Amino acid sequence: MSTAQTPLHKVRGMGSSHSGTGHFWHERVTAVALIPLSLWFLYVMLGLAGTSEVTALQFLAHPWNALLMGAFVCFSLWHAYLGLQVVVDDYAHAAGAKISLMLLIRFSVIATGATCLFAIVRIAAL
Amino acid sequence: MAETPQRPVAHARPLSPHMTIYRWPVTMMTSITHRATGTGLSIGAVILAWWLVCISNGPEGWQSFHAIWDTPLGLLLLFGLTWSLVYHFLNGVRHLAWDMGYGFDKRDAERNSVIIFALSILGALAIFAAVWTGHAGYLQ
């Protein structure tokens, strides 16, 4: 059967949607990672509630805690980015609004993540 | 979708009444709430960044964060975020169960929706109660 598709296009098998199940899959992978990380985050927030900045500094300066907080921030923001993309896809119909919103969300997520990671490194270096 | 932006509509076509006329099933409520709490938690991530920066700024930073968030309005917002996290966590686990093919039965889906609403409210209340009854702060 003759076809207009190039072999590469056929192999990728994504058709006119331009993307496959990548979005769905990454949303699930980050969700699974966030199950233990969210429980750990809740344990930390409860444990630090009503304490002093010295306690928080000492806790977050510990390498394992700094790493876990960094992982929580990265997976949360990655998951948030994918989720907000679905909201924009569903409610913003004009191409211009869609692209503008997605750029705004992408930049905000990167800025928030960079700020968190910088603060975590700064706490560890204090 | 009433309008397609690429192609201006020449005549306003009649629409069947949809959103406004039907009783909202509880599964629809959980779906919309999952999206709303997820969006709220995205804003919560910015507050987490704020908190981490304040801690890295030492005692004055800690004070400045508490001056804003340890207030009635601040605590109300933090309670909302706490509930959002518990809800999104529980309903997220349900999404993963759906991905594996469990819980699609109509009766199960409705019962689980009610359970998740109840558990998330109880969970958020329990977290705040733990703080107020002195069961928190154990990392000191």
Q: Please write the tens of the pLDDT for every residue from A81-117.
A: 999 999 999 999 899 999 999 999 999 999 999 999 9
What is the pLDDT at residue B3?
53
B48 Cβ contact list (under 8 Å, min separation 6):
A73, A116
B positions 3-42 inside 8 Å of A (CB): 3-6, 35, 38-39, 41-42
What is the pLDDT at residue A102?
96
Q: Give the integer Cα–Cα distance in Å for B48 and A116.
A: 8
Q: Give the integer Cα–Cα distance in Å for B117 and B85.
A: 12
Q: Is A20 on the interface with B (CB under 8 A)?
A: no
B87 Cβ contact list (under 8 Å, min separation 6):
B33, B34, B37, B116, B117, B120
B positions 90-129 inside 8 Å of A (CB): 92-93, 95-96, 99, 127
What is the pLDDT at residue A21?
80
ipTM for the assembly: 0.88
Helix-helix angle A22-48:A53-61, to 10 degrees? 130
What is the pLDDT at residue A7?
79
Residue bearing the bigger pLDDT, A17 or A42: A42
> Which of A87-118 are b and which e, b meaning 16 or more Cβ less than 10 Å from the residue's Cβ?
bbeeebeeeeebeebbeebeebbeebbebbbe
Structure-block tokens of residue B100: 């594996």
Find the mean pLDDT for residues A1-22.
71
A positions 71-90 inside 8 Å of B (CB): 73, 76-77, 80, 83-84, 86-87
A27-85 pLDDT per residue, tens = 999 999 999 999 999 999 999 999 999 999 999 999 999 999 999 999 999 999 999 99
pTM for the structure as a whole: 0.87
- Ranges of residues in chain B with a pLDDT under 70 are 1-10, 17-19
Cβ of B5 within 8 Å of Cβ of A52? The answer is no
The 10 Å Cβ neighbour count of residue A84 is 21
What is the pLDDT at residue A124?
93
Considering only CB atoms, A119 lies closest to which of B56, B131, B139, namely: B56
What is the pLDDT at residue B80?
98
Cβ of B140 within 8 Å of Cβ of A51? The answer is yes
